Structure 1
Amino acid sequence: MVESYDTRADRWVVCKAEDKSPRAYHGVVAIGCLIYVIGGFDASECFSSCRVFDTRSKLWSEVAPMNNKRSYVSVALLDGQIYAMGGFEGPPRTPTAGLSSPRLRCAERFDPRTNQWTR
């Protein structure tokens, strides 16, 4: 779900446009009126997908997926490009086995103009 802060009402408001499935441990970055939700985990699967929420139309869309699945991903915006760094390709821990997925030691960059991720 997405919440926005209404400065006139001085309160948080839940947007009525929910994404198609929940995800946690994702990265988030905003470019203008677009909010990019990158990677993540849904309690059973790790994602390489990247979803975009348009704050004007209140619609979700999909852009090109990353080269790697990433949960607990760190993201940054620099010169209009999105960088996704590190994270895990699967759940980092399981209740019984401890560490279950090695840390990723790589990064990739997304160019919104070409809709492409590069290592």
Structure 2
Amino acid sequence: MGPRQVIEKFVKAFNAADAEQLSELYADEAVNHQVAEVPVKGRQAIKDMFVTEFSKANMTCIVENIFEDGEWGILEWKDPLGLRGCGFFHVRKGKIVFQRGYWDKLSFLRIHGLPLPSE
């Protein structure tokens, strides 16, 4: 399974808020680095991150573009509330080994009515 297929499965599981299915897409020692957060290392820690995040907000990923280049895939997305972002996925042997996501955390918190970080 190449990056495009992995990303398509990722989006389907993400939109179902299915942390278990999402975690199965990652290699055991994968890293998920959402640039607004500290990197999360390991499949179980990534699963736990998704469980926590899905408990905080109802999130939907609408695919705008998926690009594939060798072992890399890029997802450009938006959500129904106006947030936009992109994710880079390094895929080897059908598993995500590294993911980096770019999105505006402050806008996310405001859109979902979540507490803003204190200084």
TM-score interval, normalised by the smaller of the two chains: under 0.3
Structure 1 or 2: larger helix share? 2
* Structure with max Cα Rg: 1
Higher strand share goes to which structure? 1
TM-score between both structures, scaled by the size of structure 2: 0.26
Q: Which has the higher contact order (CA 8 A, sep 6+)?
A: 2
